[in-house]
Amino acid sequence: MVYFAARSTGELPMSGGDFRSTLTIVAADTTATDCQIFLGWDAMPLLRQTIRCVLTLLLFGSGSFCLSQPAWAEDPDLEARVQALEQQNQRLLDLLSNSETTAAFQTVSGTGVCTVPSSPDCLPESGCDATGKSADGKGKDDPLSMSAKWKHGLEIETKDKKFRVHVGGRTQFDGVWLQNNREAFIGAGGDGPADAVDFRRARLRVDGTMYGFIDWAVEYDFVNSVNDNVGVQPATETNVINVPAPTDLWVNFKDVPWIGNLTMGNFKEPIGMEHATSSRFLDFMERSFNQDAFTGPFNNGFTPGIMAWQNFDDDRGLVQSGFFKNTTNVFGYGIGDGEYAWTSRLAYLPWRECEGAKLLHVAVAGSIRDPNNDTVQYRSRASLRNGPGAINPVMVNTGGFQASQARMLGGEAALQLNSLLVQAEYIGTWNTDAFGNGVTSPLAPLGTVFVNGWYVESLYFLTGEHREYEAKRGAFGRVIPRENFSFRKGLGAWQLGVRYSRLDLKNGLMDGGLVQDVTLGVNWFLNPNMKLQGNYVFTDREAPASAGSPGGSFNGYGMRLAYDF
């Protein structure tokens, strides 16, 4: 509530003298819901008399009703004086209706002078003062108002960037054609060498930042396939259904003392460079055999857990370490006593020039794992997927066997020289106190079973681009073409690549088979959000003992339209 007192000076115009009035703010009560005027009792009679005179002049054009003074009516300056009073009255009304001026007034009380309390929406950390004005003095700003922009996707954020929301997704549409060599697929199951068209990934994602120090992500994949008759019938095209499942579903706290960042939820364990690379930015249609066998078996590579991590040495280095529930499903849960994993990774750039166009990346990672239900299984599908995951042929497979512990160790390196990239990784796993491979010798003691896989690849941009290195992942990110493709002008970015990949699941009495392949690829980046990929793959398979066949080799070709936002 705002209180006012009126005071008049001089003489009333009935005697030809000068009349002036002033308005003094006595008090401002910010709790009032509307503006109420209180006139001091000392000024009430005079002010009321003045108001009556003004109203009489406005209505009748005569001052005869004001104290019965006819001299006023004969005043030749009457019209000018009335106009002056009207202007003064309008200024007073403008003063009352000006909310910014009213908000800036001070409150006078018996205890001293205090300022108007800040608006609840005026957060001190947002840069506005107690009057609601921004620090730059340009007027009142809502610190929670957000503006939208396109940054390879839709982003909405506040001016101080303490609140941000990104709404996006990704779609990957594949076509695969395989050589009809039945011998090479004996014992592999699934659709064999059949051709297929399918959606490899279809995800919706919302991520962002709140209150300046909390990052979060919510992402679901809608083409996870399951067999609705599992244990009754093998997976086929008629009994496999797609169900949504979480991928990234986490919260990250930044600037945590001593540890930097703390991430909790469902996310990728820190092992493997190509595993850390988003599926949006893969060099080939599929990762190497290591992904299926070691870094992302049965759970799409996402595991529930908690992880501490931070960058160091001007973002040259990255250290990550976390505890995870050792799950074997895509739904982000695990049930069982123990069955945890401790996984860590240390990555560093000993050489970096030209803003990352030239760099050398090296890293080492390891994981100590208590197997889920004390059962371990290693297997891998081919580098071309001809249908939903549940019906893809499995090239090599140990079957389930018992082990007390699995110890995983990996090394990685990548060299980028402008448009040329060479990258390689190795992962080996020791499974202690193993017995019973579940296929040829169910009860045979196996001791320590060692299995391993590795790959090496090289890629080159014909149009001069290079890969952007993401320090927070310790991996490569989005490709930004020098010019986007259009039918009028612009070629986009063109890249050629080759990869050799190998997975060996043979060790002692364990015979899970061996598979190796060579992939030739071409990537056409139409713009930062869309690409076309073509892969030719030659695969050689030494079938596992359970197949009852030596295996064979086959050729395949795949194409992908991928876009994300």
Q: What is the CATH number of the domain that holds 232?
A: 2.40.160.10
Any domain includes 267 = yes
Any domain includes 128 = no
Q: Do 86 and 169 belong together in one domain?
A: no
Secondary structure class of 144 (helix, strand, coil) = coil
Check residue 490 and give left, alpha or beta (phi > 0: left; psi -120 to 50: alpha): left
* Measured CA distances, 316 to 310, 355, 475 (Å): 11, 12, 12
Q: Are 54 and 13 in contact (CB under 8 A)?
A: no
Any domain includes 129 = no
State the Cα–Cα distance between residues 58 and 82, nearest whole angstrom. Answer: 8
The pLDDT of residue 330: 86
Structure tokens at 453: 């896989």
Q: Do 55 and 192 belong together in one domain?
A: no
User: In sequence order, what are the residues at sequence separation of 6 or more whose Cβ sits closer than 8 angstroms to the Cβ of residue 335?
Assistant: none
Q: Do 90 and 220 belong together in one domain?
A: no
pTM of the model: 0.74
State the Cα–Cα distance between residues 362 and 425, nearest whole angstrom. Answer: 10
The pLDDT of residue 472: 96
Q: Do 442 and 551 belong together in one domain?
A: yes
Any domain includes 386 = yes
Secondary structure class of 84 (helix, strand, coil) = helix
Cα dihedral sign, 530-536-542-548: positive
State the Cα–Cα distance between residues 482 and 478, nearest whole angstrom. Answer: 13
The pLDDT of residue 140: 56
Residue-range definition of the domain harbouring residue 401:
155-564
The pLDDT of residue 76: 58
- What letter does residue 291 receive in the DSSP assignment? I
Chain Cα centroid distance, residue 299: 21
Structure tokens at 233: 């019938």
The pLDDT of residue 407: 98
Any domain includes 205 = yes
- Which of 81, 113, 145 delimits the end of a domain? 113
Q: Give 276-286 pLDDT, tens digit per residue.
A: 999 999 999 99
Q: Are 491 and 485 in contact (CB under 8 A)?
A: yes
- What is the end-to-end Cα distance of the chain in Å, rounded? 51
Q: Do 75 and 208 belong together in one domain?
A: no
Q: Give 283-308 pLDDT, tens digit per residue.
A: 999 999 999 999 999 899 999 999 99
Residue 21 phi, psi dihedral angles, 5° rounding: -135, 145
- Which of 113, 133, 163 delimits the end of a domain? 113
Secondary structure class of 112 (helix, strand, coil) = strand
Where the chain has pLDDT below 70, the residues are 1-76, 95-140, 228-233, 437-442
Number of domains forming the structure of the chain: 2
Any domain includes 137 = no
The residue type of 97 is: S
Any domain includes 131 = no
Q: Do 390 and 472 belong together in one domain?
A: yes
Q: Do 276 and 381 belong together in one domain?
A: yes
The pLDDT of residue 347: 99
Q: Do 543 and 439 belong together in one domain?
A: yes
The pLDDT of residue 358: 98
- Which of 87, 113, 139 delimits the end of a domain? 113
Any domain includes 130 = no
Q: Do 109 and 177 belong together in one domain?
A: no
Q: Do 97 and 169 belong together in one domain?
A: no
User: In sequence order, what are the residues at sequence separation of 6 or more whose Cβ sits closer than 8 angstroms to the Cβ of residue 18?
Assistant: 10, 11
